[in-house]
Chains A and B, each alone.
Chain A
């Protein structure tokens, strides 16, 4: 193939990566931005979403779309419930102390991982895509499902943006993010907001995982890479900034897709890491982050 088709293919693959990354990182960013909690277990909520997607989709006979739709509904709800429970039982009792919550979420990481190993097993298992359509582009055919992933991620991001900017819940979340103490002084139950935000963050990771498993396989160790890449995105984009998360996910995802195709995947990772270092040195709050109290 000539340069043009290669570039288009790399861009599409990069957009798929960016879409999944944007959803996963948005969850991490919300939790970090609103609660000041570094959720090291975030990747495990992603993994849990994927494993549950396999479990739910295989429980349904018939057309794969039925099982996939059920997984898209059930997995985020179960993961959100588990996250809410762990927030109430662990993080709240630690009074959201930044250092203690890092240690606690490392513990949660291992507990979730080992539970998955125990009950799901060490095998990587495929989840069938809800449909199998190839879209014919000028130079090659491309997976219709992957284009669906991009569209679905855009819709979820848009929904999250509307939630944050157009609803009372979003107003409460932003007030808590900017100034916890003042929010309390105006009747906002900050600890309940924290419980909801932690669940929402985990649910976004689970949605990303359900979307990605038809193109990868569900495995109990699959949470590591999304966690690392999400941290990169959150640091570059800025804590709690939806716009920053989206832009950073596009930078990381597209550079990963394009540089991997034309040069090497290692170089793509090196450049992303170098960008993180530059942001930390010259703009610690991230490209679109705001300084908070």
Chain B
């Protein structure tokens, strides 16, 4: 596998508070990389920095060898990176269809893309005119992923997609991520549920204090479970 995304020693701040401190990360083509770490470690900020939503003051981020950390935030999705934020961040006052239209904003042939995405999430097809804020938590998560997939990304950034969902919906989200990997989409997943991580990730990066302390394959992690206790606080 070759690298599709390289995060090279980035520093990022919220105001004057430094959150990322020389963070390094690589994402291989077609893999699921999971970021694990305690609350406040810098996982979400890493995703936001990749999306250009948090300014990177030092270091660089490149996709397929081209630097993207100098791009304006609205230009990053056009490079083929899509983001599903924590808490879904749907446009709650808009309909399901309008949310998908937002996802299609950068596409020229939107209808075909929309049909493909709705084939992945057929439930949404019957809810196109429903206000998205009235969907259940699981349906909202589906819509958040569908909206991101409307960009036809080759990299998908998922921030705690299973948060607050019932088990059947979590399984559905996992299936979708696995299916996307088979379709060649590379994914960075921020996830608190270790069982979910072990089930779908190829590699795990442990984020602590704004740095990537260690990156292990899932097999290596299974053989060295003490990493989970050290970085995440679970047995």
Contacts and interface: CB of A to CB of B under 8 A. Distances in A.
A187 B93 contact: no
Interface in B85-115: 85, 89, 91-94, 98, 101-103, 105-106
Contact of A179 (B52, B76, B78, B91): B91
A92 interface: no
B105 A188 contact: yes
Nearest to B93: A290
A183 B102 contact: yes
Contacts of B75: 187
Interface residues on A, range: 10 to 19
B229 interface: no
A184 B73 contact: yes
Contacts, number: 61
Given A172-B105, A174-B94, A186 B89 contact: no
A106 to B, nearest CB: 26
A178 interface: yes
A160 B23 CA distance: 47
Interface string A163-193: 0000010011011001101111111111000
B77 interface: yes
B147 interface: yes
Contact of B92 (A168, A178, A181, A189): A178
A257 B72 CA distance: 50
A181 B53 contact: yes
B105 A182 contact: no
A187 B53 contact: no
Contact of A178 (B51, B93, B101): B93
Contacts of B151: 186-187
Interface in B47-100: 51-53, 72-78, 83, 85, 89, 91-94, 98
A98 to B, nearest CB: 15
A182 B74 contact: no
A179 B105 contact: no
Contacts of A183: 102
Interface in A60-118: none
A182 B102 CA distance: 10
The interface centre, meaning the residue of A175, A179, A181, A182 with most chain B CB atoms within 10 A of its CB, is A182
A176 to B, nearest CB: 10
B53 A186 contact: no
Given A171-B98, A171-B102, A181-B53, A189 B74 contact: yes
B20 to A, nearest CB: 17
Contacts of A290: 93
A185 B73 contact: yes
B93 A186 contact: no
A56 B51 CA distance: 48
Nearest to B88: A182
B47 to A, nearest CB: 10
Nearest to A292: B93
Contact of B102 (A175, A181, A189, A293): A175
Interface string B20-41: 0000000000000000000000
A182 B89 contact: yes
B144 to A, nearest CB: 10
A175 B95 CA distance: 12
The interface centre, meaning the residue of A185, A186, A190 with most chain B CB atoms within 10 A of its CB, is A185
B90 to A, nearest CB: 8
A174 B132 CA distance: 14
Contacts of A184: 51-53, 73-74
A168 B102 CA distance: 9
Interface string B123-154: 00000000000000000000000010001000
B105 A185 contact: no
A172 B106 CA distance: 12
A190 B74 contact: yes
A119 B76 CA distance: 46
Given A174-B94, A178-B92, A185 B72 contact: no
Contacts of A175: 91, 94, 102
Leading 6 A-B pairs by shortest Cβ distance: A187-B106, A184-B73, A187-B77, A182-B89, A189-B74, A185-B83
18 contacts: A171-B98, A171-B102, A174-B91, A174-B93, A175-B94, A175-B102, A178-B92, A181-B53, A181-B89, A182-B85, A184-B74, A185-B76, A185-B83, A186-B106, A187-B75, A189-B74, A290-B93, A293-B89
